[in-house]
A and B are shown apart, each in its own frame.
Chain A
Amino acid sequence: MPHNWEHCFLLHARSFGDTSIIADVFTESSGKISIMAKGAKNPRSKFFGHLLPFSALRIIVTGKSEMKTLTQIDSNFVSQSVKGPHDLYTYLYVNELMMRLLPQGLPNQELYDLYQKFVELARADAISDLDLRVFELNLLDVLGYGINFDTDSKENSEFKEATLYSFIPEKGFHRSNDANGFSAQEIKAIKNRALEGIDKLKLKQLLQVAIGACLDGRELSSRDFFKKIRI
């Protein structure tokens, strides 16, 4: 039976033995899958130099187990990876997020389109903080962890003017006296992805809490890794 070409993005690659690579790719038709690229570290291999994070690939894989074997890669299709060295931390963070949040083997066209759009943006230009926040918000929506921006989670009523709301993960916004809370206007702006007027740090913390709740207590290493070292 002929195998089909699959479009995918490479999320993470690690060495296996001396010459091979195990990679996690996000395919359009099968979702996140693990693939074994035998001999890919050998410069004469047809896979050599292609298995880089953020590369859009066209591949053929075989196998019935969870770990598929990479048999073909369309070398004419391989796109440039990220521009580097700028913003590499952001890219590594996004891929860690995808690795941790995506279920294995579950296709999701909406998510594929979202990730593709993000990678295209990253290739064309530097990613701003706000671009990243929009991606995080959309990612939560697409994965079914979307934040309720319409009603007070405790009172089940619409957000009121001149009132501040705090965010409780897995529940939503509720009225509070926290001076760092969000106003109804801000909540509406976040819902509409009009993030320009919102305090960057407050927004970042909101997304950190919301994403943290989806990770079942596991921490994202990339957040801590790239903090400035004091010597």
Chain B
Amino acid sequence: MSKDLLYELIEALTILPGVGKKSAQRMALFLLDKNKDGALHLAQTLEECLDAIQRCEICRQLTSESICRICSDESRDAYSLCVVESPSDVLAIESTGGFKGKYFVLMGRLSPIDGVSPDDLGIPDLLRHIQSAKIEEVILATSSTVEGDATASFINDHLDSVKVSRISYGIPIGGELEYVDGNTIARAIQGRIEI
């Protein structure tokens, strides 16, 4: 008996993060029944992306060009580099509009127990890039976990003639102290700034 394509599509959609069987079923029925044009556009775009998307040769961000839009943008500060863990971190920082430099995406963080090494994160490439592009400031925006801190610390240990900073930790905007966890409060007190 041949497989019903509808069930195959539902099964395929469950690979998406946060999509279970029920949501996949709803998506599949919507695409096939209510929005066939949209479904076709989605299928074509997805196929094109799979063929064309690669990592930027400079920053390792996902892009359809060999050099991504941010790296080739000459209006951006070429001497300031923000190091992040994932492509979504770039999008998160970009959405704030608060940073006009360039990025380097590690695609993870150092974790000896999980076997993620400096080579896996392209740290040798990052160090070479910092040297060759004459970067003046490196902002380490890895996550606020022991592994994220170790990654930042490891990169910092390899940089001597560059200004290096770590993003600060603290109380979220609009947050009240009594609802913030103890570790965050302790870090915020440690990293307090003079006003």
Q: Give every chain A residue within 8 A of B118 (Cβ-Cβ).
A: 225, 229
Tell me whether B183 and A50 are in contact (CB under 8 A). Answer: yes
B183 near A96 with CB under 8 A, answer: no
Which of A18, A93, A99, A228 is within 8 Å of B18, CB to CB? A18
What does the 1/0 interface line of A200-227 toward B look like (CB < 8 Å)?
Answer: 0000000000000000000011101110
Question: Which residue from A54, A84, A226, A231 sits with its C-beta under 8 Å from B154?
Answer: A226
Residue in chain A with minimal CB distance to B119: A229
Question: A17, A82, A224: which contacts B146 (Cβ < 8 A)?
Answer: A82
B121: shortest Cβ distance to chain A, in Å?
10
- B154, closest chain A residue (CB): A226
- A93–B110 Cα distance when bound, in Å, is 12
* Contacts A49-B181, A78-B182, A82-B146 given; does A221 touch B123 at CB 8 Å: no
Q: Categorize the interface residue count of chain A.
A: 35 or more
B110 to chain A, nearest CB (A): 6
| A101 vs chain B, min Cβ distance (A) | 13
B128 close to A75 (CB less than 8 A): no
Residues of B with C-beta under 8 A to A91: 146
User: Interface majority SS on B: helix, strand, loop or mixed?
Assistant: helix
Q: Is the interface of A mostly helix, strand, loop or mixed?
A: loop
* B137 interfacial by beta-carbon distance below 8 Å: no
Chain A nearest Cβ from B111, distance in angstroms: 8
Query: Do the beta carbons of B113 and A75 come within 8 Å of each other?
Result: no
Is the C-beta of A189 less than 8 angstroms from some C-beta in chain B?
A: no
Contacting residues, chain A, for B17 (C-beta < 8 A) = 17-18
Give the bracket for the number of chain B residues in contact with chain A: 20 to 34
Knowing A18-B17, A85-B152, A221-B115 touch, does A50 contact B181 (C-beta < 8 A)?
yes
- B138-160 contacts to A, CB under 8 A, are 145-147, 149-150, 152-154, 156-158
Residues of B within 8 A of A50 (CB): 181, 183
Interface centre among A17, A52, A82, A93 (most CB of B within 10 A): A52
Among residues of B, the one whose C-beta sits closest to the C-beta of A78 is: B182
**A14 adjacent to chain B (CB < 8 Å):** yes
Complex interface: chain B residues within 8 A of A225 (CB): 110, 112, 117-118
Contact pick for B149, options A84, A221, A222, A228, CB 8 Å: A84
Report if A12 contacts B (CB, 8 A): yes
Minimum CB distance partner of A79 in chain B: B182
Question: When the two chains form their complex, are residues A229 and B123 in contact, meaning their CB atoms are under 8 A apart?
Answer: yes
Residue A69 CB within 8 A of the other chain: no
User: Which B82-139 residues sit within 8 Å CB-CB of chain A?
Assistant: 110-115, 117-118, 123-124, 127-128, 131
Tell whether, in the assembled complex, residue A88 and residue B153 are in contact, meaning their CB atoms are under 8 Å apart: yes
Residues of B close to A81: CB separation below 8 A: 146, 183
In the bound complex, CA of A204 to CA of B112 (Å)? 19
The B-contacting residues of A in range 52-95, CB under 8 angstroms, are 52-55, 75, 78-82, 84-86, 88-89, 91-93, 95
Answer yes or no: B184 CB below 8 A from chain A CBs: yes
Q: A78-B182, A93-B112 are in contact. List 4 more A-B contacts (CB 8 A).
A: A79-B182, A88-B146, A91-B146, A221-B112
